A and B are shown apart, each in its own frame.
Chain A
Amino acid sequence: MTATDEELVARSQGGDLESFNQLIVRWERPIYALAYRVIGREEDARDVCQDTFLRAYRALPGFKGQAKFSSWLYRIALNLCRDWIRRQRRAPVSQMPEDADAMELASESGPAESIEDLVARRELSGIVEQAMAELSEEQRTAIILKEYHGMTFQEIADLQGCPLSTVKTRLYQGLSQLRRHLERNGQMVSELVKRT
């Protein structure tokens, strides 16, 4: 039977390192994905991810469980991302995917996805990434938390420290801006969306 986050946290607080490592296994991908989408750099996202778990481990004795463990992790990660962006003092630079290598793509594609579909998905991914990079940090974060992490408006508001209405506005305006960006690529995006 799989232990819940709360159980693993309690065991970790009791000194069971293995339990904390289980939490890492459970949450490292979402945290990395969050960091990557917010800051847009693979290596830095990896560093942020590692740092998030380091900080969480250090601060674990002080974690009283008022919030969900995942929310607590997300908060740490977002703070680190924000610090990173402030340090960089620039908009996140997307790592646009380089020309797709056929062999690499073939190894990535699953049994149900053709290489053409995979190439289309990657192209669209690049366009979206570029469009996301043009949003403000707050809008981008709100969309990422909503779209990719399935958080509720209230959870996003708690994480961003703003009213619920502000979250909705950020989402609406951010999505509208993305829409305009994607419409500029018009035909290509619609073709890619159809394929994906």
Chain B
Amino acid sequence: MNEIFVCGDQGALVGYLYDECTPAEREAIASHLTRCASCADDVSGLTSTRRALAAWAPPEVDLGIQITRKADATVTTPAGNVLSFARPEPASTTSWWKAPLPAWAQVAAAMLIFVAGLSLGFMRDGARVTENRQVAAPSTQTIAGPSKEDLAQLERRLRAEMVQIAHASAPAPAPAPVPVTARSIGDVTMEQVRALIAESERKQNIDFTERAVRQSAALEAQRRADLESVSNKIGLVQGQAREQLGQLQQGFNFLATRVSQQK
């Protein structure tokens, strides 16, 4: 490095200030400072500035950062801040359960649900059949579970019912008449339902009317009370006004008397 210091060389002065220069350069600058007031003032001022800088301290904070490994790596602080990050995922960032299903999967799911529903329906029917059978032939024994005989009977019964269903669904030469009993039961049920709805409507109407009457009565009572209150207040105000008027009249009379006396 060039050992000859040129007056005003900022880089060299900074090197001198931070003592990051060669001894020869340092000596040359020190010698120059004794002769050059401007450079000496510069170095002196910057040294003072550096002293002032030492006072600047960041606030004391409890950082306590720590990396912990659970499922993923996380950075935690005592203040409760938790920065979690997953290790770099290869491709997908969306969870599998959040991703939309492909069409074929949706169709498969729908079919599965349909079949499950169908199976449940069959199971209920079977339960009803068993229940009917138990009602028809009550047993004194407690049923712990289906025996082999029960299962065999159930199988026979199911087979018989399947045969009946097959016969019923076979094409018939003439349309089968709708069972009269079914129609009549449906009609009776509908009539009952209609009656229930009519009864409910009637009760609701009565209830509504009663409420309306009660509300109306309450409103009327409130209105009367308000009118009475207003009337009382008006009366009070009128009384006060009369009283003040009387006082004014008295004052006026008094003044008139005094004036006439002075005349």
Contact = CB atoms under 8 A, between A and B. Distances in A.
A6 to B, nearest CB: 19
Given A172-B13, A175-B50, A179-B46, A50 B77 contact: yes
B34 to A, nearest CB: 21
Nearest to A37: B58
A46 interface: yes
A159 interface: no
A89 B42 CA distance: 33
Contact of A192 (B53, B55, B68): B55
A182 B55 CA distance: 13
A28 interface: yes
Interface in A8-55: 17, 20-21, 24, 28-29, 32-33, 36-37, 42, 45-46, 49-51, 53-54
Interface in B37-66: 42, 45-46, 48-61, 63, 65-66
Interface stretch (A70-78, A79-87, A122-130): A122-130
A124 B52 contact: yes
A46 B14 contact: no
Interface in B1-28: 10-11, 13-15, 17-18, 20
Main SS of the interface on chain A?
helix
B262 interface: no
Main SS of the interface on chain B?
mixed
A169 to B, nearest CB: 6
B83 interface: yes
Contact of B48 (A20, A36, A143, A179): A179
B163 to A, nearest CB: 71
B33 interface: no
Contacts of A50: 65, 75, 77, 81, 83
B63 A179 contact: no
Given A168-B14, A169-B11, A193 B52 contact: yes
Contact of A179 (B14, B49, B65): B49
Contact of B11 (A132, A168, A175, A190): A168
A136 interface: no
Given A45-B58, A50-B75, A172-B13, A21 B67 contact: yes
B197 interface: no
Given A53-B75, A153-B20, A132 B56 contact: yes
B96 interface: no
A20 to B, nearest CB: 6
Contacts of B65: 24, 28, 49-50, 53
A114 interface: no
Contacts of B75: 50, 53-54, 57
B73 interface: yes
| Range of interface residues on B (Cβ < 8 Å) | 35 or more
B57 A125 contact: yes
B85 A32 contact: no
Contact of B49 (A49, A129, A175): A175
Interface in B53-106: 53-61, 63, 65-69, 73, 75, 77, 81, 83, 85, 88
A171 B53 contact: no
Contact of A168 (B10, B52, B69): B10
Contacts of B52: 124, 127-128, 178, 182, 189, 192-193
A123 to B, nearest CB: 9
Which of B51, B54, B68, B81 has most chain A Cβ within 10 Å? B54
Which of A29, A127, A128 has most chain B Cβ within 10 Å? A128
Contacts of B51: 193, 196
B14 A171 contact: yes
A114 to B, nearest CB: 15
Contact of B59 (A20, A24, A42, A179): A42
B48 A57 contact: no
Contacts of A32: 58, 61, 63
Contacts of A42: 58-59, 61
A196 B55 contact: yes
Given A49-B63, A53-B75, A147 B50 contact: yes
Interface of B: 10-11, 13-15, 17-18, 20, 42, 45-46, 48-61, 63, 65-69, 73, 75, 77, 81, 83, 85, 88
